[in-house]
């Protein structure tokens, strides 16, 4: 947090002191019910230490700095439900960072637990150098502390929430940076820990700073429609209230609008105005009932509700029998009101409600009341620990994988023996295979889902019973990465690919060594480096790999010798200085006219490469991304990497668009899935080569499972040309699905 040291002009210091004491007392009042023995004394000591440490400091808003640790402690106790150790740690969270005090001092004064937590918090603060891996590295460190004490993360979230609440006084640039970091990492993390209220507030605050107009418009409309809504809610719940009272239930009914962020999301996703968002609010029925009768009671209430209103069978969610991984328990149904409007009704007990609002800490509190089985949240934390321990990838890659695991809902599926598996939403048969065992995943050919044969990229649905089919010769392929949603599967596939890359590189190196011997070139590191430069690969390993895979023919190494080997310039690559030379370069390279890509604010024509992850072709919506080593890379806006690049490295993104369309060919890839039948391949290839006169570069087909799976690489002129082709292929008998795939890399390297 930035601070300003000042002697505070024009401030009534006496009044300020009183206000500090008022805020401190408010904190104590809140904590009082659970304070034991010496607790009050320790909190007082922490408060005094913090006061002393921050005494001359002020926040950007001009307020005394101590307001911040006090507020963080208040959030920790009031909104997350944490106890004394956390209050003490929250009060002291910026002390080590901002003063001469050390972790050792903290340990001596406040004990080892507090010291560990402050240490964790200090490690993850510091300067977020935006757009570098520093930020990811910091986040990784934070997650590492999860295995020590989850309170580090909970206090960090409280810290972030207060900083977001007080973002107003920060400069615009800092506001945007903090807000996007919040939506990218902290809100999903809060969600995953089940801190629903904090997650919603973080999302709303993000919107307030990044989409100010939308935020204000929605806030205003919620307010304007308030009276009508309350009237509707009142008449909707009336019959339910009467029935519940007659059956002597203790209960409370709430009806409140959904978060601004979720309304905004709906408007954007479905492209509708505010008036058309039908589920602006949800009705919540909260029962006060003893734990052993919870489930029965909730279903009885469901029965009462649906006596009055007809339910939508597709929207029944039972998170009581199978709680979400973040601990959430509730029964949801959507029913039709008398005025023809769908209304979501959530039925839960007080215990479930507290877990839903406060998440992890509340879960803890109730743990003794529950059966001794390991809760799914604890399972999740132990999974995160596993991930951290085996992970040796770069920090950015790690955060990416981790984020994808944080998100939203799960899908519940079963093994052939009826064992329940919980996988991230969007998980495929391949994810399931890797969840069973790494070896099962690595040799996965396809699966039987509910007795029916499906390909490995089949997206699992709740309740599916899955049996994996394997074959010994099957092995992980690059494009498998696009078929998986779980970070476990992704990590395992990446490991396997790295391993096979190492093997190919080893073969390649032997070929290079033989060739160098023939050419009488010393196999020194210096010469390897020159070869790398000449063939323009990123690393020597890539160079050897390309030789091993036959992408660089051994005969080309001879050409390297013939060129002046002491003054090596990379082959092909020439820097483009202006538009004219650029056009000439392209004409030279392709021998014909070329589409031109315009890049940057002034839409200059500069040097660029197409990203291999999504292979743009003319007509695609694209953007440029400034890379560290390879100049500007062009990605499709629909590229799977686009959200990460745009949110995490916004300042490296440049505008790009196509200027003109000439007849020219671009490589694109198509995946075709169908039921195998005689003559299917010939029908498909006939359309491609004779009807549309498209040149194929490669085609690979797998029919092992009784399912036809083809990958075709071909040269097309633009998106219209490609769409036409896709349309035609879809009409071939037996073809179920045709889709363009993003990455060509993996496929072109497979034999
Ligand atoms: Mn702080």
- Measured in Å, residue 73 CA sits from the centre of ligand 1 at 10
Query: Which range among 176-190, 197-211, 321-335, 574-588 shows the weakest confidence by mean pLDDT?
Result: 574-588
Q: Which domain holds residue 629?
A: 579-658
- Residue 574 resides in a domain: no
User: How many C-beta neighbours within 10 Å does residue 553 have?
Assistant: 12
Residues 17 and 574: their CA atoms lie apart, in Å, by 67
The answer to pTM > 0.95 is no
Q: For 288, which DSSP code?
A: -
pLDDT the model gives residue 435: 92
- Measured in Å, residue 138 CA sits from the centre of ligand 1 at 15
Tally of structural domains, the chain: 6
Pair 592, 635 in one domain: yes
Please say whether the beta carbons of 218 and 264 come within 8 A.
yes
pLDDT the model gives residue 710: 81
Residue 537's nearest CA partner among 525, 545, 549 is: 545
Pair 330, 416 in one domain: no
- Measured in Å, residue 71 CA sits from the centre of ligand 1 at 10
Tokens of 535: 């063939």
Contacts of 31 (CB under 8 A, 6+ apart): 39, 43, 77, 83, 84, 87
- Measured in Å, residue 713 CA sits from the centre of ligand 1 at 53
pLDDT of 267 higher than 80? yes
Query: Which range among 34-48, 409-423, 643-657 shows the weakest confidence by mean pLDDT?
Result: 643-657
- Residue 589 resides in a domain: yes
Contacts of 466 (CB under 8 A, 6+ apart): 413, 414, 415, 416, 429, 432, 447, 448, 449, 460
pLDDT the model gives residue 589: 38
Pair 243, 299 in one domain: yes
Pair 648, 690 in one domain: no
Pair 245, 325 in one domain: yes
The mean pLDDT value of the chain amounts to 79
* Residue whose pair of structure tokens reads 């709430």 in the numeric block: 254
- Residue 140 resides in a domain: yes
Separation in Å, CA 657 to CA 125, 141, 595, 740: 39, 39, 10, 21
Pair 479, 515 in one domain: no
Question: Which H or E run contains 736?
Answer: strand 735-741
- Measured in Å, residue 90 CA sits from the centre of ligand 1 at 8
Residue by residue, DSSP assigns 165-223 as HTGGGS-HHHHHHHHHHIIIIIHHHHHHTT-HHHHHHHHHHHHHHHSHHHHHHHHHHHH
Please say whether the beta carbons of 61 and 11 come within 8 A.
no
Pair 155, 88 in one domain: yes
Tokens of 617: 């072709």
Residues 118 and 19: their CA atoms lie apart, in Å, by 26
What CATH number does the domain containing 354 carry?
3.30.460.10
Contacts of 310 (CB under 8 A, 6+ apart): 335, 336
Question: Which H or E run contains 302?
Answer: helix 294-308
More confident residue, 198 or 579: 198
Interval 384-403: pLDDT, tens: 666 655 555 555 665 666 66
Interval 235-258: pLDDT, tens: 999 999 999 999 999 999 998 788
Please say whether the beta carbons of 95 and 121 come within 8 A.
no
- Measured in Å, residue 94 CA sits from the centre of ligand 1 at 6
Which residues hold their Cβ within 5 A of ligand 1, which is an ion? 1, 94, 159
pLDDT of 378 higher than 70? no
Residues 733 and 682: their CA atoms lie apart, in Å, by 12
Q: For 393, which DSSP code?
A: S
Pair 445, 323 in one domain: no
- Measured in Å, residue 37 CA sits from the centre of ligand 1 at 28
More confident residue, 542 or 643: 542
What CATH number does the domain containing 729 carry?
3.30.70.260
pLDDT of 747 higher than 80? no
Residues 491-516, mean pLDDT to the nearest whole number = 89
Could you say which of 540, 567, 594 is where a domain stops? Answer: 567
Please say whether the beta carbons of 527 and 516 come within 8 A.
yes
Residues 240 and 308: their CA atoms lie apart, in Å, by 8
Please say whether the beta carbons of 51 and 66 come within 8 A.
yes
**How would you class 391 by CB atoms within 10 Å of its CB: exposed for 0-12, middle for 13-18, buried for 19 or more?**
middle
- Residue 371 resides in a domain: no
Tokens of 166: 């007080």
Beta strands 444-449 and 452-454 are antiparallel
- Measured in Å, residue 159 CA sits from the centre of ligand 1 at 5
pLDDT of 313 higher than 80? yes
Interior CA angle at 564 toward 559 and 568, to 5°? Answer: 90
- Measured in Å, residue 126 CA sits from the centre of ligand 1 at 10
Interval 537-575: pLDDT, tens: 888 888 898 888 888 888 888 877 776 545 555 444 334
More confident residue, 627 or 275: 275
pLDDT the model gives residue 269: 83
What CATH number does the domain containing 191 carry?
1.10.3210.10
pLDDT the model gives residue 535: 84
pLDDT the model gives residue 216: 94
- Measured in Å, residue 557 CA sits from the centre of ligand 1 at 58
Which range, 200-209, 273-282, 470-479, has the best average confidence (pLDDT)? 200-209
Query: What is the three-class DSSP state of 420?
Result: strand
pLDDT of 48 higher than 90? yes
Pair 18, 163 in one domain: yes
User: How many C-beta neighbours within 10 Å does residue 241 have?
Assistant: 14
Please say whether the beta carbons of 201 and 91 come within 8 A.
no
- Measured in Å, residue 43 CA sits from the centre of ligand 1 at 18
pLDDT of 98 higher than 90? no
First CA to last CA across the chain, in angstroms?
A: 54
Residues 716 and 367: their CA atoms lie apart, in Å, by 60
Pair 403, 520 in one domain: no
Residue 464's nearest CA partner among 416, 429, 425, 413 is: 413
What CATH number does the domain containing 420 carry?
3.10.20.30
Buried b / exposed e across 323-361, counting CB within 10 Å, b at 16+?
bbbbbbbbbbbbbebeeeeebbbbbbbebbbbbbbbbbb
- Measured in Å, residue 264 CA sits from the centre of ligand 1 at 29
Query: Which range among 421-425, 581-585, 621-625, 659-663 shows the weakest confidence by mean pLDDT?
Result: 581-585
Query: Which range among 104-108, 354-358, 597-601 shows the weakest confidence by mean pLDDT?
Result: 597-601
Residue 523's nearest CA partner among 544, 503, 538 is: 544
Could you say which of 567, 590, 612 is where a domain stops? Answer: 567
The band of 377, judged by pLDDT with boundaries at 50, 70 and 90, is low
Residues 538 and 8: their CA atoms lie apart, in Å, by 55
Pair 95, 165 in one domain: yes
Interval 684-730: pLDDT, tens: 877 777 766 677 777 777 766 567 778 888 777 777 778 888 888 88
Interior CA angle at 724 toward 723 and 726, to 5°? Answer: 60
- Residue 749 resides in a domain: no
**How would you class 299 by CB atoms within 10 Å of its CB: exposed for 0-12, middle for 13-18, buried for 19 or more?**
middle
- Residue 606 resides in a domain: yes
- Residue 599 resides in a domain: yes
- Residue 246 resides in a domain: yes
**How would you class 127 by CB atoms within 10 Å of its CB: exposed for 0-12, middle for 13-18, buried for 19 or more?**
exposed
Could you say which of 523, 545, 567 is where a domain stops? Answer: 567
- Measured in Å, residue 78 CA sits from the centre of ligand 1 at 17
Buried b / exposed e across 29-51, counting CB within 10 Å, b at 16+?
eebeeebeeebeebbebbbebbb
Pair 506, 553 in one domain: yes
Residue 148's nearest CA partner among 473, 385, 456, 449 is: 385
- Measured in Å, residue 528 CA sits from the centre of ligand 1 at 50
- Measured in Å, residue 132 CA sits from the centre of ligand 1 at 22
Contacts of 389 (CB under 8 A, 6+ apart): none
pLDDT the model gives residue 80: 85
Residues 14 and 689: their CA atoms lie apart, in Å, by 86
pLDDT the model gives residue 651: 63
- Measured in Å, residue 364 CA sits from the centre of ligand 1 at 25
More confident residue, 139 or 558: 558
* Residue whose pair of structure tokens reads 């877990």 in the numeric block: 355
- Residue numbers annotated as active site: 97-98
- Measured in Å, residue 104 CA sits from the centre of ligand 1 at 20
Please say whether the beta carbons of 683 and 732 come within 8 A.
yes
- Measured in Å, residue 200 CA sits from the centre of ligand 1 at 20
């Amino acid at each position: 947090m930035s601070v300003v040291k000042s002697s505070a002009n024009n401030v009534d210091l006496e009044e300020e002191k009183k206000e500090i004491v008022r805020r401190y007392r408010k904190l104590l009042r809140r904590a009082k019910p659970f304070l034991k023995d010496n607790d009050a004394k320790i909190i007082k000591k922490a408060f005094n230490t913090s006061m002393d440490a921050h005494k001359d400091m002020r926040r950007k808003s001009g307020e005394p700095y101590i307001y911040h640790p006090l507020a963080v402690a208040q959030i920790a106790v009031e909104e997350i439900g944490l106890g004394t150790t956390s209050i003490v740690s929250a009060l002291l969270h910026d002390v080590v960072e901002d003063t001469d005090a050390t972790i050792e001092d903290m340990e001596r004064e406040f004990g080892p637990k507090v010291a560990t937590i402050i240490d964790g918090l200090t490690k993850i603060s510091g300067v977020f150098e935006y757009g570098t891996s520093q930020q990811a590295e910091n986040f990784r460190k934070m997650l590492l502390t999860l295995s020590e004490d989850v309170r580090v993360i909970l206090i960090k979230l409280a810290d972030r929430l207060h900083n977001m609440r007080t973002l107003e006084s920060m400069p615009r640039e800092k506001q945007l940076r903090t807000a996007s970091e919040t939506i990218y990492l902290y809100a999903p993390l809060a969600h995953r820990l089940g801190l629903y209220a904090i997650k919603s507030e973080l999302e709303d605050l993000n919107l307030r700073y990044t989409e100010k107009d939308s935020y204000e418009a929605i806030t205003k409309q919620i307010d304007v429609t308030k009276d009508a809504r309350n009237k509707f809610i009142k008449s909707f719940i009336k019959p339910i209230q009467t029935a519940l009272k007659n059956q002597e239930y203790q209960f409370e009914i709430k009806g409140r609008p959904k978060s601004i962020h979720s309304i905004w999301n709906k408007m954007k996703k479905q492209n509708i105005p505010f008036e058309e968002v039908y589920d602006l609010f949800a009705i919540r029925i909260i029962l006060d009932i003893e734990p052993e009768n919870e489930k029965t009671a909730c279903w009885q209430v469901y029965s009462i509700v649906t006596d009055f209103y007809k339910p939508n069978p597709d929207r029944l969610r039972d998170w009581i029998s199978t709680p979400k991984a973040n601990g959430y328990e509730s029964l949801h149904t959507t029913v039709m009101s008398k005025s023809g409007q769908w209304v979501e009704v959530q039925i839960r007990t007080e215990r479930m409600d507290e877990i839903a609002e406060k998440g992890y800490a509340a879960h803890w509190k109730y743990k003794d009341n529950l059966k001794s089985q390991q809760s799914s949240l604890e399972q999740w934390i132990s999974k995160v620990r596993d991930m951290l321990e085996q992970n040796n990838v770069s920090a950015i890659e790690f955060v990416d994988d981790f984020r994808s695991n944080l998100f939203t809902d799960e899908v519940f599926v079963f093994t052939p023996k009826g064992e329940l598996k919980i996988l991230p939403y969007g998980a495929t048969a391949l994810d399931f295979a890797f969840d069973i065992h790494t070896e099962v995943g690595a040799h996965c050919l396809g699966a039987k889902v509910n007795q029916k044969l499906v390909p490995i990229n089949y997206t699992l649905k709740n309740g599916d019973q899955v049996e994996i089919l394997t074959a010994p010769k099957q092995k992980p392929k690059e494009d498998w990465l696009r078929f998986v949603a779980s970070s476990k599967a992704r990590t395992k596939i990446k490991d396997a690919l790295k391993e096979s890359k190492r093997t190919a590189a080893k073969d390649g190196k032997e070929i290079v060594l033989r060739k160098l011997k023939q050419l009488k070139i010393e196999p020194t590191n210096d010469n390897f480096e020159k070869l790398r430069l000449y063939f323009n690969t990123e690393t020597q390993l890539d160079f050897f790999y390309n030789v091993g895979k036959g992408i660089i023919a051994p005969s080309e190494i001879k050409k390297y010798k013939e060129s002046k080997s002491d003054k090596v310039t990379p082959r092909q690559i020439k820097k483009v200085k202006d538009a004219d030379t650029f056009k000439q370069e392209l004409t030279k390279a392709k021998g014909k006219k070329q589409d031109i890509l315009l890049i940057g604010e002034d839409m200059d024509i500069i040097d660029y490469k197409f990203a291999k992850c999504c292979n743009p072709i003319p007509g695609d919506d694209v953007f440029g991304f400034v890379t560290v080593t390879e100049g500007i890379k062009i990605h499709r806006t629909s590229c799977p990497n686009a959200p990460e690049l745009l949110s995490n490295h916004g300042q490296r993104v440049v505008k790009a668009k196509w200027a003109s369309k000439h007849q020219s060919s671009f490589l694109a890839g198509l995946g075709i899935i169908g039921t195998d039948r005689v003559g299917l391949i010939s029908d498909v290839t006939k359309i491609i080569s004779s009807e549309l006169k498209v040149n194929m570069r490669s085609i690979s087909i797998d029919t092992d499972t009784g399912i036809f799976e083809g990958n075709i690489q071909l040269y097309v002129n633009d998106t219209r040309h490609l769409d036409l082709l896709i349309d035609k292929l879809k009409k071939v008998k037996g073809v179920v699905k045709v889709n363009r795939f993003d990455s060509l890399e993996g496929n072109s390297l497979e034999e």
